[in-house]
Structure formats: C-alpha cells, structure tokens
Structure 1
Amino acid sequence: MIFVPYHLDERRDGLADDLPAGPTTTVTADLPDGDIWARLATLYGNVADAVAKEPVPIVISGDCTVSLGVMAGLQRQGNPQEAVGVVWFDAHGDVQTLETTTSGYIGGMPLRLLVGYRPELIAERLGLRPVPQERAVLADARDLDPAEVEFLAGATLMRYDVNAIRPPDGKFLVHVDLDVVDPAELPGLMFPVDGGPTASALLAAVGALVATGRVAGLDVACTWRPDGGNARRRDLIAALIKALQSQRNAP
C-alpha cells in the first residue's frame, strides 16, 4: 500500500487507524506556504514518484484529489501514446470547476481536472496529461449539482450504474471514493449521500473490473474524519486490496 495521510493539504495521520495490516509506504511532503495548488502539486509530485515505482500500485488516501498524483505516476510507466483510462466510483460527480462551484471545495473537482480542465492549475506542474473523456467512466454519481448535470450532458465521459459498468479499452485506473457506498452501511463519512450500492455490490463491480486483467492501479479515497478506526471501513479497504491482488497473482 501507498498511504497518503492527507485531506487536500491537511495532514490526517489518524486515517491510518482504518488501514488493514500489510506493508505500507507513507507519502508526505514539506508543503510550501501560500497557494493551495502549489502545495498540492508538491504533495502529489511525491505521490507520482511513489506510484511510478510500483507495477500495479494500491494508493489509500483521505480524498479524491490524490488521484491526480496517482494518474501522473501511472503515465510515467507507460507509452505516452497509450492513454490510461479511469473508472471513477463516487457518490458525487467530482466535475465541478472554480467557475461553477458554490462551495469552493477543490475535492469536488478532481475528475474534471483529470479530463483536462485548466491544466495550468496543477496538471502541468505534475506533468499530467489529460485523460480523454471517452476513456473516463463515472460510476453512480447520484448527487450532482446543476452545473455538473449540464457538463455531463454534453461530455463524452461515460456514466453507468455500479452494477452495469463497461470499462474503457486498454489499461485503466480504478478510483473508489468510499462514499459511493450507502452511508447506512458505512459510517462516519464526511459527505454522505442517502442510498447507493452496498459494499458487496461495490466489491462485485471492482472484482469484475479486475477480472479484465487491465487494471493499472487502485486508488481508494477514505473521505471521513479520523475517529479511532472502524471495522467495517477497514474490512472494506482490505477486500478492495485483496481484489486487486488477485490480478497481480494471476498467471
């Protein structure tokens, strides 16, 4: 596991209470003062360095924006002409922009940043190439703001229910924000959204993706406040890791 104990630029070591046992590399950074994008680029540059060293990395962090560093690291591993895709499990769309957000929360923007929104903010600092929209899949996203609905209506990015995903061709990153799971089953979420799939349904969907043999890495966002650990959350993370390890161990 590569563990990134941050929510945006705020360090949260308590997230480690939900990690299953196993070898872990912890990524940290001495963050500069000032601009949030410079701070995140410093941290995610270190994430990219760690990811680039792993053939099929597993990254656990406190938010979805860490995916920018994960994808930058994966892109360093492969042929620049072969774009790594992404399957994005989330209760939210994560396709806000600075121009459309009403909250100003950067954690609502990472998928939009991955597919090419304003690369000068952080992508260019990471050497991150945009993921073509047709190689991006958004799973669930049951809580969308009007601006996100408008963007997705005109985008070539694909949307599916969790139980009916068609992954992009070639290699792809599996990103899982655990708030995709019904909050009645998974406690302590920062941004819970009623309804959603069960943990079992999520694991079945991820298992089907792993069975393709084309998963380039797993990126799990633990979007909750540290509260001393929770067995349900720990077991779900462990099951996701085990699913990806089955691809690693396949002949």
Structure 2
Amino acid sequence: MTTIYVPYHLDERLDGLVDEPADTTVTADLPADTDIWGRLAVLYDVLADEVSKADAPVVISGDCTTALGTVAGLQRRGVDPAIVWFDAHGDVQTLETTTSGYIGGMPLRILVGYRPELIADRLGLRALDERRAVLVDARDLDPAEADYLRGSGIRQYRLQDLELPDGPLVVHVDLDVVDAAELPGLLFPVPGGPSLGAVLAKVREIIATGRVVAVDLACTWRPGNGAEARAFIQTVCKGFRKDPNKFRTERDH
C-alpha cells in the first residue's frame, strides 16, 4: 500500500490532515494566470502520475475533486475502474445548476462525462459509464441533483443495502458521509448518516473482495479541527495494512 497525501482544499493549501508522514506528498506550483480548472489540472496531473506508479494507492486529500486525479492515474496504467462513492452529498452538480458555485460539488458528474473540456481532457481522463458508478448514503441533494440522478445510470444505495458494480473498484469516501454528530469540524456536515464504525466496516468489507485498486479519502474540514477525521483516516490505513493481500493493484489481479 502507498499513501499519497494531497494537502489541498481545491487549489488552496491545507496542511494537517494526516498525523504520520505519507509515502508521497503531492504539491505543485499552481499558475496564477489561469482559472481554477487550469490550476487543478496542474495539481491533479502530478497526482495522476504518482497514482500510476503506486502500489495499492490510498489518496488522502481535503476535497472530493482529487478523485479526478486518482481515476486518471489508474487509467494511465491501463486500469478501467468502477467507482463506489460514499458521500452525504451527490457531487453531481454542474456549472449550469449549482447555486453556490462550489466546484467541489461536481466531481462525480465530471467522472461520468460532464464537460470534459473543463479538466478531464487535460488529464486524459476518460469518462466512466454511469452504470459503473454507485452513490452511497447521499442524503443532501439539491433538486437539480435529484432530477439528474433519477434519470441517470448511477445507482444510489443506503450503506446497509450497497451492491457493488463489477470489475476493479475505486472506493471514494468523503468523511461527511458519517453522521455529523460523530465528526465535528467538517465544512459541510449532514445529520442522519451512518456511524463511523459502520462506514469503516463497510469499507473493509469491500476491500475484502480483493477488487479494490485504489482508495480515495476526502475530508473538507475547518482548520483547527479535524482530530476525529485524522483518527478515522489512520484507522482506515491501518486496516489496509493488516491484510495487504486483500488490497491489490490491477497488475496483481
């Protein structure tokens, strides 16, 4: 297993999410003379290269858009993954539907093909078939997201009812999928979610299938907080290390 730390919330540096040094820390000189998509493309291109070389990568970052670099890196080495997206939010907003303008609410939609010219084309990221994406415990959906999901191939599940897509898997976990009462300090907390223990058990269950090729852990947290989030991330990483034969890269399959 290789831990890759991306200490950013979008294009803003955000340190302090991991207590122990990662195997690799991804940083980049982000250009000032371009828009946020251009800056993220520079950062995620570096991440994609690291993922393409890593043994069983676990990517840790401050937001969900980092998953674009994770999936692009797997594709660069010939892996065609499905994705299991744990998140309290849908992350299927678009520039046309968002009311906040927050692009951290768009990565799953981008992964399945929304406006590739924004960033996917720059990363060489190929769109995932909607039917190979599942969304777990998304309970805070804007009306436009709910409308899109009703007509899309993306399947939605509660944690306890999850059915996995076929093939190699990327497991993406936004820690706000956990009930907000258990993880104080998150930027976008949502009540009514599963417990920390239940999420961890489900992630371990997926890893036990032997089909996981990467894990993506995202936590948008308020600086000065995050102790519970760091503890969760450490627990997940230790769980992977316990049984490395259950978490393999595609080249090992």
Q: Name stretches of at least 5 consecutive residues in structure 1 with no aligned partner.
A: none
* Residue 30 in structure 1 maps to residue 26 in structure 2: no
Partners of 2:210 and 2:245 within 8 A in 1: no
Partners of 2:87 and 2:138 within 8 A in 1: yes
Larger displacement relative to structure 2 (148-157 or 219-228): 219-228
Secondary structure of the residue aligned to 1:131 is: coil
**How much has 1:43 moved relative to structure 2?**
0.4
Cα root mean square deviation, aligned:
1.5
**How much has 1:207 moved relative to structure 2?**
1.1
Residue of structure 2 equivalent to 1:234: 230
**How much has 1:74 moved relative to structure 2?**
0.8
Residue of structure 2 equivalent to 1:100: 97
Q: In 2, distance between residues paired with 1:61 and 1:123?
A: 19
Name the count of aligned residue pairs.
244
Change (3 A) 1:164 1:243: farther
Matches for 1:132-171 after TM superposition, within 5 Å: 132-171=129-168
**How much has 1:133 moved relative to structure 2?**
0.6
**How much has 1:22 moved relative to structure 2?**
5.0
The TM-score, its normalising length taken from structure 1, stands at 0.93
**How much has 1:78 moved relative to structure 2?**
2.2
**How much has 1:229 moved relative to structure 2?**
4.7
Change (3 A) 1:130 1:184: same
**Counterpart amino acid of 2:147?**
E
Larger displacement relative to structure 2 (70-79 or 88-97): 70-79
Residue of structure 2 equivalent to 1:6: 8
Q: In 2, distance between residues paired with 1:125 and 1:31?
A: 15
**Counterpart amino acid of 2:232?**
L
2:239 to 235, 240, 243: 243
Q: In 1, distance between residues paired with 2:124 and 2:116?
A: 10
**How much has 1:164 moved relative to structure 2?**
1.8
Larger displacement relative to structure 2 (209-218 or 232-241): 232-241
Partners of 1:210 and 1:247 within 8 A in 2: no
Partners of 1:20 and 1:237 within 8 A in 2: no
**Counterpart amino acid of 1:144?**
L
Residue of structure 1 equivalent to 2:114: 117
Q: In 2, distance between residues paired with 1:112 and 1:123?
A: 11
Q: In 1, distance between residues paired with 2:196 and 2:226?
A: 17
Secondary structure of the residue aligned to 1:91 is: coil
Identity of aligned residues (%): 61
Change (3 A) 1:191 1:36: same
Change (3 A) 1:250 1:118: closer
Change (3 A) 1:122 1:19: same
**How much has 1:241 moved relative to structure 2?**
1.4
Cα deviation, 1:98-154, whole Å, max 9, x if unaligned, reads 000011100000000000000010000000001111110100010000000000000
**Counterpart amino acid of 1:28?**
T
Q: In 2, distance between residues paired with 1:66 and 1:187?
A: 22
Cα deviation, 1:223-244, whole Å, max 9, x if unaligned, reads 10221651x2222111211333
Q: In 1, distance between residues paired with 2:81 and 2:118?
A: 21
